[in-house]
Amino acid sequence: MMEHIRTPKVENVRLLDRSSGQRKANVGTLYLSSMHTIFVENNPETRKETWVLHSMISSVEKPPTIPAGSQLILRCKDFRVFQIVIQQERDCLDVYTSLVRLSRPEKYSELYCLSFNPSVDKEERQESWNFIDLMADYKRMGVPNNLWVMTAANSEFRVCDTYPSELFVPKSATPSVIVGSSSFRSRGRFPALSYFHQDTLAAVCRCSQPLSGFSGRCHEDEMMLQAVMKSNPGSDYIYVVDTRPKLNAMANRAAGKGYENEDHYANIKLQFIGIENIHVMRSSQQKIIDVSEMRSSSMTDYLWGLENSGWLKHIKAILDAGVFISRAVADEGVSVLVHCSDGWDRTAQACSVASILLDPFYRTIKGLMVLIERDWVSFGHKFSHRYAHLDGDPKEVSPVIDQFLECVWQLSEQFPCAFEFNERFLIVIHTHVYSCHYGNFLGNCQKERKDMRLHERTHSAWPQLWKDRAQYTNSLYKAELSQTQGVLRPNTTPYCFKMWRGLYNHVEKPTPPSQSAADFLSAVREQSQQLEEELTNHQERIAALTGKPITSEKVVVLRKRSSHLWQKHCGPDPPTTYSDSITGPSQENGHAFSSVPANQKAQTRGPTVTLAQGLRTNLKCHDIDDLSTCSDLESGVADLNS
Beta bridge partners of 205: 193, 337
Residue 340 annotated in active site? yes
Other beta carbons less than 10 A from residue 470's beta carbon: 6
| Alpha helix (H) residue ranges in 104-154 | 122-129, 134-141
Chain centroid, CA 636 distance in Å: 19
Residue 599: CB partners within 8 Å, gap ≥ 6?
A: none
Q: What is the rounded distance in angstroms from the CA atom of residue 272 to the CA atom of residue 245?
A: 6
Residue 209: CB partners within 8 Å, gap ≥ 6?
A: 185, 186, 242, 249, 252, 257, 258, 259, 339, 340, 341, 342, 343
Q: Which of 250, 200, 228, 256 is nearest to 338 (CA)?
A: 228
Q: What is the rounded distance in angstroms from the CA atom of residue 129 to the CA atom of residue 137?
A: 15
Candidate list 340, 407, 445, 621, residue with the active-site label: 340
Contact 197, 145 (CB under 8 A): no
Q: Which of 208, 284, 221 is nearest to 252 (CA)?
A: 208
Contact 170, 230 (CB under 8 A): yes
User: Could you give the C-alpha distances from 230 to 70, 72, 220, 233, 241, in angstroms and in order?
Assistant: 68, 61, 15, 6, 18
Residue 510: CB partners within 8 Å, gap ≥ 6?
A: none
| 3-state SS record for 179-221 | HHHHHCEHHHCCCEEEEECCCCCCEEEECCCECCCCCCCCHHH
Q: What is the rounded distance in angstroms from the CA atom of residue 462 to the CA atom of residue 172?
A: 36
Contact 70, 77 (CB under 8 A): no
Contact 32, 98 (CB under 8 A): yes
Contact 260, 268 (CB under 8 A): yes
| 3-state SS record for 9-20 | EEEEEEEEEHHH
Contact 85, 66 (CB under 8 A): yes
Work out the end-to-end distance of the chain between its first and last CA atoms, rounded to an integer number of angstroms. Answer: 64
Instruction: Say how many CA atoms lie within 13 Å of 109 toward its Cβ.
Output: 1
Q: Which helix (H) or strand (E) holds 86?
A: strand 81-86
The burial class, CB within 10 Å (0-12 / 13-18 / 19+), for 247 is exposed
Q: Which helix (H) or strand (E) holds 320?
A: helix 311-327
367-398 burial, b if ≥16 CB within 10 A, otherwise e?
A: bbbbbbbbbbbbbbbbbbbbbbbbeeeeebbb
Report the catalytic residues. Answer: 340
